[in-house]
Chain A
Amino acid sequence: MGSGSSFRQAFAAAILGALLGGCSPSAETNAFPVGIEITHQVATQPLRLDGTLYKTAAGDEYSLDHVRYYLSNFRLRRTDGTWFVNPQSAESSQGYFLVDAALKESQTFPIGLVPPGEYSGIEFLIGIDPVRNGAGAQNGELDPARGMFWTWNTGYIFFKLEGHSPQSSSKKHELTYHLGGTGPTSGARLVFLPLGKESIKVNAKTRAQIHLSADIAQVFEGVNRIRISELSEAMSPQAGVPIADNVAGLFSVEHVHNVAVADNAAAP
């Protein structure tokens, strides 16, 4: 624990240094941030939170007001089969990312610092791991005041989708899906995505970025077909299980970038 946490602290310091230096590679660790960018859509349409009506394959209609979720526990798989594990600090929310479909800045974030190499796959958790979920008062991205913490039970809401639907059985035709929990009914899902033909190359000469696409239509269409009239509200881990299985299929790799950077990477 002692050496692990000091290692993490060193890593955190390195990342901080990198961020302060405008995401420049760290000379000390010889490692580089990898950018993640997420684009949200509903099937083939862009995601709008303005009352736009979408239709499920089964014909249910819905609009979306809020789509927010946590991503954490990022890992990158090297072409040789070994892994880079994105560091997560016990003292801060480093490594945990709260993505909000309404906030552009939340949809782009760096992971890392990643050692040089070629990476062909990415893995992450939609949600918060059980240890951190039950670890007491947190701050930063994990601040429970951010409205992603359950109030009937102590634990994070991993994925929140709120909207309206004419098919909803709730009084005001509301659509409310909150996923969370620990144990067998946990709403957290681990996702591995191969990067496809093009791997990312992490080195001093390129700046790697992975563009992910999140298709919210999958919430209703994935491995479980959700009919809104039958499930208008899921606000406990158990009720959310079929939705969580669908959410696991939300993400796909749109494309990757290996952008060449100038020799002097620190230059503005």
Chain B
Amino acid sequence: MKRSRRLLWAGLAIGIGLSSVLIVRERVERNVVDAPKFEVPKNWPAPQYDFKNNPVTAEGFALGRKLFYDAQLSRDGSVSCGSCHQQFAAFAQLDHRVSHGIGGVNGKRNAPGLFNLAWQPQMMWDGAATHLETQPILPISNPLEMGETLSNIIDKLKADKSYAQLFEQAFGTPGIDSQRTLRALAQFTGSLVSSHSRYDGYVAGEEKLSADETAGLKLFRQNCAACHREPLFTDYSYRSNGLDAQSEDEGRKGVTAKPEDHGLFRVPSLRNIALTSPYMHDGRFTKLEQVLEHYDHGVAKSSALDPLLAKGIPLNPQQRRELLSFLNTLTDQQFISDVRFAEIDPAKSVKPSLLGSVFGPKSQADILPVTRVGRSRLVLQSADVELVLVHELEDLVIYADDFGSNTPLKGLDLSVHISNRLLRAAEDGDGTYRIPAERIDFTQPQAIKLTLQGSGLKQQLQGTLPGERLQ
């Protein structure tokens, strides 16, 4: 509605004079949020996905991002790709053992982080998807995930007036079809490149690692790098890491039908591993410590077990600490706070300016997001409780878990002291609590104190909520 009025204004304004229109055009051009330029980081192999057939443009990327976050892609409009792939979790899903689909059903496997997909020869834990562009058909069609058909989605997008212009701008001619939809999505997902961790800085000679981190890197290279090969931290092979003597999930066999592939899963990248809990194809481990314990003494013998793990990976407590320190250097803060990848609510993110109000955006790509650099995120832990605070779109979301079992803590009375205010959090089911973001000033770091009561607990945790730089 608002937009069409703006376009009307634009039409009137164009009548005023060509020279002023040209000036405004120039300014508007500069306001376009560019797509990230796809570049192969130094010393990385050539990507698998060929952007030549689907060159990334600002308009195509913006369309892909809108589709990625559009819940119309699910049958009942309840979940989008972004529901199970959250940017702050490196596009994995925080706290969800397996993905949650339409109607609240549980999926079969853990939603993996999404980054460096352009290098990935196959997608999904079992490698069922062999091409980045067609991969979305799998979660879209899965009755436990989005439960929708591609042809229904195309009908919905055609009926949604906000899309016609975006498709035309992205592909040059009018028309909405599945190829364009999937290619726009690939422009977005293929652009999710994570290559700015502290480890990358260290490799480039720009960053120093601590003694523990350096020792951890050495341990990593001795014990883990055979499968989690640098620089992508996976060799994209399918292996059994001995989670069970007999895997319930057939894994790779479901694709190849080879009996010897039963219980094999894709070796996941370890980049951003500190952010993508829970771990393994079924999300059985919630903490990296548990993963290291598994390799130390929990590896189950079976004919499928990868020979490299026949003796497990025994590590003493100091080595585990060092390895964990190193794994934390694989977190890419720039990636998870890159606003170009964030969900954007166009209605709320138009840059307030006179020009903008008169001429309006010429396209979706002109609509500026509130250019917040960084996204406040804070993890607070006590002996019993783990709280993860994340500034999502309109809320400060607090995920509360029992620290030991990592089960969600439901029914808590949770209040937050921040900037001399007391804010009560509303529970949103499953140990998730929300406070409207408008009540908090995120522009600067602030001391925050949380009081929680319930489930036999009563305690206070405090920390500093990092500020978000505004552009």
Q: State the A residues within 8 Å of B (CB).
A: 134-139, 143-147, 149, 151-155, 185, 236-238
Whether the Cβ atoms of B178 and A139 lie closer than 8 Å is yes
Residue of B nearest to A156 (CB): B134
Residue of B nearest to A152 (CB): B128
21 A-B contacts, Cβ less than 8 Å apart? Answer: A136-B53, A137-B178, A137-B186, A143-B178, A144-B178, A145-B151, A145-B178, A146-B151, A149-B134, A151-B137, A151-B138, A151-B141, A151-B142, A152-B138, A152-B254, A153-B129, A153-B138, A153-B255, A154-B130, A154-B134, A238-B257
Cβ contacts B106-144/A at 8 Å (1 or 0 each): 000000000000000000000011111111011001100
A134 to B133, CA, bound (A): 10
Measured between beta carbons, the chain B residues less than 8 angstroms from A236 are 257
A134 to B50, CA, bound (A): 13
Q: Which listed residue (A135, A136, A147, A152) contacts B151, Cβ 8 A? A: A147
Whether the Cβ atoms of A136 and B131 lie closer than 8 Å is yes
Q: State the B residues within 8 Å of A (CB).
A: 53-54, 128-135, 137-138, 141-142, 149-151, 154, 177-179, 181-183, 186, 254-255, 257
User: Nearest 6 A-B pairs (CB), nearest first?
Assistant: A151-B141, A137-B182, A136-B133, A139-B179, A137-B133, A145-B150
CB distance from A6 to the nearest CB of B (A): 15
A137 to B178, CA, bound (A): 7
CB distance from B453 to the nearest CB of A (A): 47
Measured between beta carbons, the chain A residues less than 8 angstroms from B254 are 152
A164 to B336, CA, bound (A): 52
CB distance from B424 to the nearest CB of A (A): 44
Measured between beta carbons, the chain B residues less than 8 angstroms from A135 are 131
A151 to B154, CA, bound (A): 16
Whether the Cβ atoms of B179 and A154 lie closer than 8 Å is no
How many contacts between A and B, using CB within 8 angstroms? 68
Whether the Cβ atoms of B138 and A154 lie closer than 8 Å is yes
Measured between beta carbons, the chain A residues less than 8 angstroms from B141 are 151
Given known A145-B149, A145-B154, A185-B257, contact A154–B178 (CB-CB < 8 A): no
CB distance from A130 to the nearest CB of B (A): 10
A110 to B137, CA, bound (A): 31
A138 to B134, CA, bound (A): 9
Whether the Cβ atoms of B151 and A154 lie closer than 8 Å is no
Measured between beta carbons, the chain A residues less than 8 angstroms from B137 are 144, 149, 151, 154
Whether the Cβ atoms of A144 and B128 lie closer than 8 Å is no
Whether the Cβ atoms of A137 and B255 lie closer than 8 Å is no
Whether the Cβ atoms of A138 and B179 lie closer than 8 Å is yes
Q: Which listed residue (A134, A149, A153, A185) contacts B128, Cβ 8 A? A: A153
Interface centre among A137, A146, A236 (most CB of B within 10 A): A137
A151 to B138, CA, bound (A): 5
Measured between beta carbons, the chain B residues less than 8 angstroms from A154 are 128-131, 134-135, 137-138
Measured between beta carbons, the chain A residues less than 8 angstroms from B182 are 136-137, 144
CB distance from A158 to the nearest CB of B (A): 16
Whether the Cβ atoms of B134 and A144 lie closer than 8 Å is yes
CB distance from A142 to the nearest CB of B (A): 9
A151 to B53, CA, bound (A): 23
CB distance from A180 to the nearest CB of B (A): 12
Whether the Cβ atoms of A136 and B132 lie closer than 8 Å is yes
A144 to B179, CA, bound (A): 8
Measured between beta carbons, the chain A residues less than 8 angstroms from B150 are 144-145, 149
Measured between beta carbons, the chain B residues less than 8 angstroms from A147 are 149, 151
Measured between beta carbons, the chain B residues less than 8 angstroms from A139 are 177-179
A147 to B141, CA, bound (A): 11
Residue of B nearest to A138 (CB): B179
Measured between beta carbons, the chain B residues less than 8 angstroms from A137 are 133-134, 178-179, 181-183, 186
Measured between beta carbons, the chain B residues less than 8 angstroms from A134 are 130-131
Residue of A nearest to B143 (CB): A151
CB distance from B240 to the nearest CB of A (A): 21
Measured between beta carbons, the chain A residues less than 8 angstroms from B183 are 136-137
CB distance from B236 to the nearest CB of A (A): 16
A152 to B127, CA, bound (A): 11
A102 to B254, CA, bound (A): 32
* New contact pairs (13) apart from A137-B134, A137-B179, A145-B154, CB-CB < 8 Å: A136-B132, A136-B183, A137-B181, A138-B179, A144-B150, A145-B151, A145-B177, A149-B134, A151-B141, A153-B129, A154-B130, A154-B131, A237-B257
Measured between beta carbons, the chain A residues less than 8 angstroms from B133 are 136-137
Residue of A nearest to B184 (CB): A137
CB distance from A108 to the nearest CB of B (A): 24
Measured between beta carbons, the chain B residues less than 8 angstroms from A143 are 177-179
